[in-house]
Structure 1
């Protein structure tokens, strides 16, 4: 009982500080990423950037995967039967940042960092606005809804960028010959935080209902 009584008083400030910490960490990452991309675009980088070890100067990495087109499941001879499905091999294709795939990869990175920074900014505003005596506020409901739309928008933008990246990298693969007639393709997942966006939109509606109930109780009292 003692811990349950005390927990809200230390949990809330701790989470609030963590949100602020992550906000500034993402902000620093965004500034460094933008600086690195700008240097590469200007051909001003003469060596590996601190966050780009292993990359050629003025190049960016595109995740790729390859596997023989006739992969077959391997079955053991002894009982119980075991099945092994060979997985694709993955790697990094380094392309000039001034190429279309290079620009698309850079934009994808910026979209992810800007979305994360925006999300933590909204979380900071929520933690600053919430009050223990009046937790339901219209501003918080709007911020939760904004986060939901943010995740849905991020998913849509990333989907379009990844489809464009898949199309634009195909000519590059024709210049690369792999053994065993392996097929090469961009290793990207066409997904995004759309499910979290829908959950937040539903949560915003529940929160608005809480505001209505709170107003009804205040009028009743």
Structure 2
């Protein structure tokens, strides 16, 4: 009884409750985001493309521009310190019915939907885990599904971001910040493709664990 109290298997119910909490939080965020985007689309009005504070029925596109001087600044004292100016960032407010506005809304929906699906699969995994029989084919399938989910989300987000860069070019031509300074969309292509590959590899390892468990059961 004392050993069961110290057993690490108490972690699974705790993590399951935490995953369930995040699942419902992401679900609520997805519903709210979809509702707000729908309201903005229904009440959208045409207007200018301001750079600065938030505007009704507008969405924000993260942008960046190069500093006026890219020379490294060197201090006079010892030890010598070096400061390299980096890009400046801001938020370009565009109407939701514009190309960039629709793409940003879709990008947000894809990200939230992917997160919701991930937590759904995690809930199913922790619900299926048993202390006496941890290796189950259903869990291996769900781990593989998470891997394909991350890879698919990466491809979809990559296509949306490439389209977003293309759609924002006409609007950037209307804005002049300083001479020899050009605007660009400040969105990195850092979707979780590597995590997807790791999950697929983990699924293969898990399937091997299932085979070994079956071999041990047959031997006994």
Verify same fold: TM over 0.5.
yes
Corresponding residue number in structure 2 for 1:137? 136
- State how far apart, in whole Å, the 1-side matches of 2:4 and 2:147 are: 31
Corresponding residue number in structure 2 for 1:101? 100
User: Per-residue deviation at 1:32?
Assistant: 0.2
Corresponding residue number in structure 2 for 1:220? 219
- State how far apart, in whole Å, the 2-side matches of 1:7 and 1:220 are: 27
Are the equivalent residues in 2 in contact too, given 1:68–1:180 (CA < 8 A)? no
Correspondences of 1:63-212 after superposition (within 5 Å): 63-68=62-67, 70-212=69-211
Secondary structure of 1:162 counterpart: helix
Instruction: Note the residue ranges of structure 2 that are not aligned, 5 or more in a row.
Output: 46-52
Corresponding residue number in structure 2 for 1:56? 55
Aligned length, in residue pairs: 212
User: Per-residue deviation at 1:12?
Assistant: 1.5
- Measured on the aligned residues, the alpha-carbon RMSD in Å equals 1.8
- State how far apart, in whole Å, the 2-side matches of 1:117 and 1:189 are: 22
- State how far apart, in whole Å, the 1-side matches of 2:90 and 2:68 are: 17
- State how far apart, in whole Å, the 2-side matches of 1:14 and 1:29 are: 23
Are the equivalent residues in 1 in contact too, given 2:69–2:85 (CA < 8 A)? no
Q: Deviations over 1:18-56 (max 9, x none)?
A: 0000000000000000000000111179xxxxxxxx521
Secondary structure of 1:179 counterpart: coil
TM-score under structure 2 length normalisation: 0.91
Are the equivalent residues in 1 in contact too, given 2:67–2:86 (CA < 8 A)? no
Are the equivalent residues in 1 in contact too, given 2:154–2:192 (CA < 8 A)? yes
User: Per-residue deviation at 1:78?
Assistant: 2.4
